[in-house]
Amino acid sequence: MKITKYSVSGVLIWVISLSGFCSETLRILTWGGYAPASIVQKFEKETGIKVKVTLSNNEEMIAKLRATGGSGFDLAQPSHDRIQSAQQEYQIYQPIELARIQKELFDSAVLEATLKAATLGADLYAVPFIWGTNGLIVHQGKASVVQDYTDLCRPEVSGKVSYRLRRPTLISFAFALGEDPFAAYSDLNHYQGILDKVEKALIQCKQNVKTYWSGADVLLNLMRSGEVVAALGWDTTGWKLHAENKDIIYRVPRSGALGWIDTFALPKRAKNRLAAYRWIQFVMQPAIAAELVNEIGNFVAAKDIPSHPLVASSLKQNFADSFPGDTFKNVRWYPPVPPGFETYEGKVLDRIQVARAS
């Protein structure tokens, strides 16, 4: 008699705790700022699903999912060019069922670009969330000479420059040096040649660097304090600084800005896929998307968002200032990185890190 009573209550407790743990939380692995508290609250209120946000970046997201075999998170937000290689090497994602998402919510051009970059065989592994560009953030009064990435190495700005020691910097410098690394993706030897050239340039440039920035917050602080007057950075970081100090602007470099798309991807062993689909649907609604744009500063890949009445006019102005006329057409969108290339890039980054400034 006793035993049954205890075991029944035991099973009950087990069931309750299980249901509490599994079905009603959504665990998102994303970038800082992509799931702001206000939006999370609205989502929790509407759906009753609790949201747990873990902040990360492209490389760490993939490393984390690789370590857990694609479990621990229900939704991840890597960039569109990093999906194919990560999936081929480590099988950390599961296909997205496009039928579960309203395609009309998305901007068709960005959606198409993402579908092209994130499809393997017959399976699609990502849909777009947000897009933006990489370029130069420049203090006009103090670093007017900086018109292109390679100008960061000029003596006029010595000791007052910052960039990230990551692959976007390698690609940006390659273009500024007159190469086309994307065209060289099909030919490893040619690509290695370009990397060698970039490595040399970045080692020579090291004496100009104040420090390598690691996250947007670090860069914001460096630019605000005036310790850094020119940097390679994201458009939103530049626009945010411009709002505080009119002298600081986001500049599209002579060799062109680079365009990225951060996506939604389902980790292979996501427990709560339904909640993930609901989140995607939720944030892509025009009104929520507009709110997100105002929070994040980049344009969400929802339909007609750049002209949406709820999007702050200052953002529209920033965009128009940075991309006058039809210059936006010149943005180079990252193509998918071939698997294995990152190992070669990693070696170059290592060598730049250990090189002593000459």
Partner 1 sequence: MNRLLLKWNVGLLALPLLLWIVLLIILPLSDLFISSFQEKVGVGVFEWGLGNYQAFLQEPFYWQTFIRTVLFSIIATMATLGVAFPVAYYIAKVARGRVKSMLFVLCLLPFWVSELVRNYGWMIILRESGLLNHFLMKLNLITQPIEFLYRDATVMMGLIYTSLLFMVVPLVVVLENLDESLLEASDDLGGGRLISLRRIIIPHAMPGIVSGCIMVFMLTLGNYLTATLLGGKESLWFTEHIYNQFMTRWNWELGSAMGFLLLVVSSALVWLGLRMTGQKLNKVMT
How far, in Å, CA of 23 to CA of 37, rounded? 21
By beta-carbon proximity to partner 1, the closer residue of 40 and 55 is 55
Smallest gap from residue 334 Cβ to partner 1 (A): 17
Q: How many CA atoms lie within 13 A of 105 on its CB side?
A: 21
C-alpha dihedral sign at 26, 27, 29, 35:
positive
Q: Which is nearer to partner 1, 111 or 143 (CB)?
A: 143
Does the footprint of partner 1 cover residue 215 (CB under 8 A)? no
| Contact string (CB under 8 A) for partner 1, positions 107-146, x = contact | ----------------------------------------
SS3 29: strand
Nearest-approach distance from CB 220 to partner 1, in angstroms: 13
Task: Supply the minimum distance, in Å, between the C-beta of residue 291 and partner 1.
Answer: 31
**Using CA of residue 12, residue 18, residue 23, residue 25, what is the dihedral sign?**
positive
The one among 117, 209, 300, 311 contacting partner 1 by CB under 8 A: 209
Q: Does 72 bind partner 1 (CB under 8 A)?
A: no
Closest by alpha carbon to 295, among 40, 75, 26? 40
Single out the residue of 42, 50, 66, 271 in contact with partner 1 (rule: CB under 8 A).
Answer: 66
- Between the CA of residue 238 and those of 138, 248, 249, 251, 290, what are the distances in Å? 8, 7, 6, 8, 20
Q: Is 343 in the site for partner 1 (CB under 8 A)?
A: yes
35-43, 110-118, 205-213, 255-263 -> range binding partner 1 (CB under 8 A): 205-213
Q: How many CA atoms lie within 13 A of 168 on its CB side?
A: 26
> Least separation, in Å, of the C-beta of 59 and partner 1?
4
Dist CA 135 CA 236 (whole Å)? 10
Tell me the pairing of strands 93-94 and 127-139.
Answer: unpaired
List interacting residues with partner 1 (CB under 8 A): 59-60, 62-63, 66, 88-91, 159, 166, 206, 209-212, 225-227, 339-340, 342-343, 346-347, 349-351, 353-354, 356-357
